[in-house]
Amino acid sequence: MTVGVQNNEDTSKPGHKLDEEQKTALDTFVRLCEDNELLGRLDGMGERDVLDAINDETALIRFLRARKFDPEPAINQFFEAILFRKEKGIFEVYDGIRVEDFETANAVYPQWTGRLDKRGLPIFFVATSNIKPSMLGFSGFNYGYVPSSDSDSDPPSTEPNQQHQRIDVLQLGSVMFDSYTRFVFPLCSVAAQKQVTSAVILVDAATLTLKQGFDLRNFAKEATWLLSTCYPETVDKIFVCNCPSYFGAIWKILKGWVDPITAAKLVFLAPAEVYPTLKEYIDDDDLPIKVGGKLDFEHGGPVDLSDAFKKALGRDQLVAGPHKWVYDEKGRRSVVAVGSVDGKLRYEVVATLNESLDSGPEE
């Protein structure tokens, strides 16, 4: 389905709110990236993949913000993130993860609800009752992907390939975080008519136990390292809702494993505090029932797209599995569903925008 896009020039430019000192830092950072060949299409990306959240201007600004606009430490962190992607083959894993495995992970990682808060940020929801260490990529569940014979081919070969490769904890986390930054954030930018680069996460901790908190300590360490190192400044706030009376003891277990940057974004809410707090940020119709709103959304169930997203996509629902943005042969942005089904790589066009959000495919 092809739909139209209207751009708001004042908010579509990532750097429009930077002051002069920050703009100078960005210029310096861009030169450092150019000198180190960290811009443009990276190894493993499809030839039509857009650069959103990888090394476009919004990504560079996020890394700069994380380092208080100091280009030198920012380039070191950015290089570490790019090297991690290369060594872990993140682009290939994202394009080849088994669709059923992606959906399994979607039911334990924060899941996009299909809604925005009052500021236009995407709302993600996670129920701690769903979270089990084995389902997060640790031992006990074998997540896999189909490797591509040619990662630069778009669309990829759809010939069956039964040689699944195992996905480790950090690769799985990257696939999920990439789905947020490379697909959801750009889609939200279209619907909200402004640049969206971060999200709000709602955690329903009503059933969280001391044992579960202890079991999650390694995941907390891995996830917060991944977020702070490779996906900086992508989380605005994390509201931990319906905290049980003994939550203080759980937090003592987890606190040492959560990096200070992520910890500073956590807001802990007792049951009586949940709705009065969240209603200031989120309309009732976009707030899940489990945290006091009216949205009938279950973690692990279908995404409940708002009317704005249905209009933007020209469809009422997303297909299962990972999605990404690419340029079609006319230079328009398209959403394609990727991943693998029955040993075959998938490349299904979901929607095409009449206008690209920038000038076309990057070289």
pLDDT of 159: 58
CA atoms within 13 Å, Cβ hemisphere of 99: 17
62/203 same-domain check: no
Q: Is residue 326 part of a domain?
A: no
74/207 same-domain check: no
99/226 same-domain check: yes
Tokens 């206008």 -> residue: 355
Report cis status (omega within 30 of 0) of the bond before 133: no
Q: Is residue 76 part of a domain?
A: yes
Q: Domain count of the chain?
A: 2
The DSSP letter of residue 282 is S
Q: Is residue 356 part of a domain?
A: no
CATH number of the domain that 285 lies in?
3.40.525.10
pLDDT of 31: 97
- In the chain, which stretches have pLDDT less than 70? 1-16, 137-140, 149-162, 354-363
pLDDT of 158: 53
Beta bridge partners of 161: none
The DSSP letter of residue 43 is T
Give dist(CA 318, CA 227) in Å, integer: 25
Q: Is residue 23 part of a domain?
A: yes
70/101 same-domain check: no
Helix, strand, coil share of the chain (percent; to 5): 40, 15, 45
pLDDT of 123: 99
pLDDT of 358: 45
69/99 same-domain check: no
Q: Is residue 46 part of a domain?
A: yes
Domain that holds residue 106: 89-145+166-313
Q: Is residue 240 part of a domain?
A: yes
Report cis status (omega within 30 of 0) of the bond before 361: no
